[in-house]
Amino acid sequence: MSLPKVTVWNEFRHEKQDAEVRAVYPDGIHEAIATGLRGHGLTVRTATLDEPEHGLTEAVLAETDVLIWWGHMAHDDVKDDVVDRVQQRVLDGMGLIVLHSGHFSKIFKRLMGTTCNLKWREAGEKERLWVIEPGHPIAQGLGEFIEIPHVEMYGERFDIPAPDTLVFVSWFAGGEVFRSGCCFHRGSGKIFYFRPGHETFPIYYQPEVQLVMKNAVMWAAPAGGPEVTFGQRKIPLEKI
Amino acid sequence: MSLPKVTVWNEFRHEKQDAEVRAVYPDGIHEAIATGLRGHGLTVRTATLDEPEHGLTEAVLAETDVLIWWGHMAHDDVKDDVVDRVQQRVLDGMGLIVLHSGHFSKIFKRLMGTTCNLKWREAGEKERLWVIEPGHPIAQGLGEFIEIPHVEMYGERFDIPAPDTLVFVSWFAGGEVFRSGCCFHRGSGKIFYFRPGHETFPIYYQPEVQLVMKNAVMWAAPAGGPEVTFGQRKIPLEKI
Amino acid sequence: MSLPKVTVWNEFRHEKQDAEVRAVYPDGIHEAIATGLRGHGLTVRTATLDEPEHGLTEAVLAETDVLIWWGHMAHDDVKDDVVDRVQQRVLDGMGLIVLHSGHFSKIFKRLMGTTCNLKWREAGEKERLWVIEPGHPIAQGLGEFIEIPHVEMYGERFDIPAPDTLVFVSWFAGGEVFRSGCCFHRGSGKIFYFRPGHETFPIYYQPEVQLVMKNAVMWAAPAGGPEVTFGQRKIPLEKI
Amino acid sequence: MSLPKVTVWNEFRHEKQDAEVRAVYPDGIHEAIATGLRGHGLTVRTATLDEPEHGLTEAVLAETDVLIWWGHMAHDDVKDDVVDRVQQRVLDGMGLIVLHSGHFSKIFKRLMGTTCNLKWREAGEKERLWVIEPGHPIAQGLGEFIEIPHVEMYGERFDIPAPDTLVFVSWFAGGEVFRSGCCFHRGSGKIFYFRPGHETFPIYYQPEVQLVMKNAVMWAAPAGGPEVTFGQRKIPLEKI
């Protein structure tokens, strides 16, 4: 089996506007993520908001097995026709990994059908992600939990449909919990929401976080299942 | 516990335009459904597409515990702001029962995040809905299956998220199967997709079909759970 | 609808052997639970390990809509034929609510098919149960979380099948999380595992905990669905 | 990634006692299945009931990534300590694929916690397995359905827990439906129940059926996730 082709999409605005962010992610969050995945042997390209068509042309998407999505301050700047296109590709089989503040992206809200809202706090507290489903491929190579020393907290109620599989649940020092690794089938595609990340905490450099993203890419890659057809079936398969 | 207040929404176009439909549902599909539910002791109002705001004003929705939706030929005529309003009410706790061709309604597609497409055939063939989850309240009072003598076939692949609970699976004479009773939690609301129905087959007069709709109303009624809050939590619950 | 008839089963050994436990639950844990449920209007009987047939005769089970189970130090003293009988009743439609250390009861392990093992610590730390599925009837009347000031910790990985619905996730001061309110369909019956409780912490006197148990009784009551039949079907429903 | 090591277990009694069965599976059902999997490049050994310890010694299980199980007439002859051993291996991460009449095996009933009962008919009728979840890896390389010309019918209600993922639903000419491809996580292991098969119908020679078994092996292979630990955690991870 050939390895899935990955596109990492990043809003790439914080890094341009804010020296503090640039200090952490000098080449952009997308490059940090891409570098981590390349270290796992994957072929990765990147795309960003301010490129034509946000870098997500039909041609790019056609070449993408798994799309990783990071956005935060400019969700509304993503054009609806690009969202339509990405949604269709997911339903046709492309994997989608939505990271951290991407919970509020148009594409995630569209695919979930809910507000995807949550509670949050920026206090740099500790997070511990517990593996809830140890037999799931996204848990490959992990210990029983992942600790991240300084994070922005996200707390329940996370307004999403119950995931098909719940892989991680997070504990936060400030008293909240969160479903932080959630698998969804939508159409012929697979979606993984993964909570960790932030524009000023160096979370995407952490090896376990990179490993989860690699595992998620492998899991979310197109399954190569049936070409699904819809519509009228004038002639029944059996004599009525 | 007081009984849930029901609003039956119907597009109500076929009945006005087509004598064959009117012969089956002279007062509209909504009245047939409402009459069946009233026979089970429920208080039911109706609303239709051509009323102002499609009959689904803020006031009506505020008074509605469970909304039943039938549409077919005029899905696109439903205004987006009414769809927004209904979606928000569902996420806030209102139950929603989507019937038959309502699979292609704006509100159902919005809440599912997928195309909700399927295979179909109008040949008047037999359908048998098997109860898959006999402990579910929607199966109350039923036998092991429901037979409907003449139906429009809907066949898999049905492009929806896997339901939280699968209550019915249909067998069709022509060779297809279909997940015909599907429960979903979305936000604080509950959604039941129920396949049976048609504008020219008299399915909504069938007692088992009416019983399922009554059971679904009881199941989908608002749970009275916590008022969910979102957003910043500046002060942590625990000392960090 | 008449209210479900409840039987609260308690091992009732700690209370007899240990003055500290007796000080908290002078009439036994079963009486504390039963009193809480009676306060919600339910009719409740009790049964304990050292009664003949552990108090769970065919006659008692036939009269029981929902069975609540508390055990801890004497799981092995429960006779296998009584476990068989309870399992069969659950599969036939009786509700079962398994509390706290009941995770290691024969009946729960039997119905789950897994070890039901977990991590634990007796340090009297704080637990906060977050409502994850606010539209579920077991969340009725609750706030966004329940706090219990002093508990025995249970931590993930909890070795159970993924629940059909996850209602609560717990946060613990010591750093763990736990799926503390878990719904399962098994046969025609419904099972709710609810984590709170202990023999020396007065948790079953806490109103929110009592409310959850009442809600769970209502949810787990027999659905009145089809009488399920199995075995050979010599004559097909359709001409082959 | 190295390919998973497979053990195909067969009761191997019908073939010895019945010339009609031997005519279809002269070397036993296990060899037919093994040959099919070897044709997909997998390394496969076999084990049968009448070997010492049913061929499932600690050593064999330790060398097995995925165990395939076929049994029918002699479920009761499988010793409980071997069932214990297989169950433990599954919970520790080994994949298990249960075929056809294996629904009534001790190991499957043990892992499900239910009766696993169903309706059945031996009339050689047609079955059509519809792919319900086209994005699942077990659907790789398939069309929208698989047709098997002559089968023993299995009909709902199938008394199992709702599967974590439902991949196939079967249509039968005689009027029934069945959840015929069901995925379960149990412990760190994965289980796939696959309905097709029979001792006198040559179903295990059918290429699509072999392909599904290969896909299921790949899916069910151990994930390499965390080594799960249980028991007392005297020292909390955080200061209480």
Q: What is the mean pLDDT of residues D125-149?
A: 98
- CA dist D94 and A64 (Å) reads 32
Q: What is the mean pLDDT of residues D13-27?
A: 97
What are the structure tokens assigned to A176, written together?
Answer: 């909240």
Q: Would you call C174 and D119 a contact, using CB atoms and an 8 Å cutoff? A: no
- CA dist A172 and A195 (Å) reads 12
The tens digit of pLDDT for each residue in D33-60 reads 999 999 999 999 999 999 999 999 999 9
Interchain contact C127–D (C-beta under 8 A): no
Determine what percent of chain A is predicted with pLDDT higher than 90.
Answer: 99
Cα–chain center distance at D237:
40
Q: What is the mean pLDDT of residues C39-54?
A: 98
Chain C residues within an 8 Å CB radius of D155: 233
DSSP state of C106: H
The tens digit of pLDDT for each residue in C67-98 reads 999 999 999 999 999 999 999 999 999 999 99
Determine what percent of chain A is predicted with pLDDT higher than 70.
Answer: 100
The helix (run of H) or strand (run of E) holding residue C85 is helix C80-91
Q: Scanning the structure block, which residue is given the tokens 């249960």?
A: D98
Q: What is the mean pLDDT of residues A141-170?
A: 98
What are the structure tokens assigned to C229, written together?
Answer: 């039949």
Q: What is the mean pLDDT of residues D149-173?
A: 98
Q: Which chains touch B (3 or more CB pairs under 8 A)?
A: A, C, D
Looking at residue A123, its amino acid is A
Q: C94, C106, C114, C182: best mutation site toward chain D, by most D Cβ within 10 Å?
A: C114
Closest-CA residue of C relative to D236 is: C174
Closest-CA residue of A relative to B125 is: A240
Chain D residues within an 8 Å CB radius of C116: none
Interchain contact C187–B (C-beta under 8 A): yes
Residue C1's pLDDT is what? 56
Q: What backbone torsions phi and psi does residue B197 show, to the nearest 5 degrees?
A: 130, 160
Chain D residues within an 8 Å CB radius of B142: none
D154 CB contacts (<8 Å, ≥6 apart)? D103, D118, D119, D120, D170, D176, D178, D180, D195
Residue A21's pLDDT is what? 96
Q: Would you call C119 and D159 a contact, using CB atoms and an 8 Å cutoff? A: no
Interchain contact B146–C (C-beta under 8 A): no
Query: Is the pLDDT at A1 greater than 60, yes or no?
Result: no
Interchain contact A144–C (C-beta under 8 A): yes
Nearest C-alpha of chain C: how many angstroms from B137? 5
CB D49 within 8 A of CB D12: yes
Nearest C-alpha of chain C: how many angstroms from A101? 20
Interchain contact D134–A (C-beta under 8 A): yes
Report CA torsion sign: D149, D154, D160, D162. positive
CB B139 within 8 A of CB C225: yes
Interchain contact B149–D (C-beta under 8 A): no
> What is the pLDDT confidence band of residue C2, given thresholds at 50, 70 and 90?
confident
Query: What pairing do the DSSP bridges indicate for beta strands A119-131 and A165-172?
Result: antiparallel
Residue D120's pLDDT is what? 98
Query: Is the pLDDT at B1 greater than 90, yes or no?
Result: no
Cα–chain center distance at B165:
15
Looking at residue B46, its amino acid is T
Cα–chain center distance at C222:
15
What are the structure tokens assigned to B111, written together?
Answer: 């809440």
Mean pLDDT (chain C, rounded): 97
Mean pLDDT (chain A, rounded): 97
Looking at residue B84, its amino acid is D
Q: Three-state secondary structure along chain D?
A: CCCCEEEEEECCCHHHHCHHHHHHCCCCHHHHHHHHHHCCCCEEEEEECCCHHHHCCHHHHHCCCEEEEECCCCHHHCCHHHHHHHHHHHHCCCEEEEEHHHHHCHHHHHHHCCCCCCEEEEEEEEEEEEECCCCCHHHCCCCCEEEEEEEEEEECCCCCCCCCEEEEEEEECCCCEEEEEEEEEECCEEEEEECCCCCCCCHHHCHHHHHHHHHHHHHHCCCCCCCCCCEECCCCCCCC
Interchain contact C84–D (C-beta under 8 A): no
Interchain contact A4–D (C-beta under 8 A): no
C101 CB contacts (<8 Å, ≥6 apart)? C70, C71, C72, C197, C198
Whose CA is closest to C85, among C106, C114, C70?
C106
What are the structure tokens assigned to D89, written together?
Answer: 């291996």
Query: Is the pLDDT at A201 greater than 90, yes or no?
Result: yes
DSSP state of B228: -
Residue D125's pLDDT is what? 98
Q: B115, B156, B164, B188: best mutation site toward chain A, by most A Cβ within 10 Å?
A: B115
Query: What pairing do the DSSP bridges indicate for beta strands D95-99 and D66-70?
Result: parallel
Q: Would you call C119 and D164 a contact, using CB atoms and an 8 Å cutoff? A: no
Nearest C-alpha of chain D: how many angstroms from C102? 15
Interchain contact B3–A (C-beta under 8 A): no
Query: Is the pLDDT at C55 greater than 70, yes or no?
Result: yes
CB B10 within 8 A of CB B97: no
Query: Is the pLDDT at D1 greater than 70, yes or no?
Result: no
Q: D191, D237, D239: best mutation site toward chain C, by most C Cβ within 10 Å?
A: D237
Interchain contact B196–C (C-beta under 8 A): no
The tens digit of pLDDT for each residue in C85-142 reads 999 999 999 999 999 999 999 999 999 999 999 999 999 999 999 999 999 999 999 9
CB D154 within 8 A of CB D178: yes
CB B108 within 8 A of CB B9: no
- CA dist B213 and B234 (Å) reads 45
- CA dist A31 and C201 (Å) reads 52
Q: Show the beta-strand stretches assigned E in chain A.
A: 5-10, 43-48, 66-70, 95-99, 119-131, 145-155, 165-172, 177-186, 189-194, 231-232
Report CA torsion sign: C213, C215, C216, C220. positive
Interchain contact C205–A (C-beta under 8 A): no
Whose CA is closest to C193, among C113, C126, C95?
C95
Closest-CA residue of D relative to A142 is: D226
Q: Would you call A177 and C165 a contact, using CB atoms and an 8 Å cutoff? A: no
Interchain contact C174–D (C-beta under 8 A): yes
Residue A2's pLDDT is what? 83
Smallest Cβ–Cβ distance between B135 and the set C143, C144, C185 belongs to C185
Instruction: Count each helix (H run) and each strand (E run) in chain A, helices first.
Output: 7, 10
Q: Would you call A133 and D190 a contact, using CB atoms and an 8 Å cutoff? A: no
Chain B residues within an 8 Å CB radius of C188: 134-135
- CA dist C59 and C55 (Å) reads 10
Q: What pTM was computed for the model? A: 0.98
Q: Would you call A157 and C130 a contact, using CB atoms and an 8 Å cutoff? A: yes
Residue D2's pLDDT is what? 82
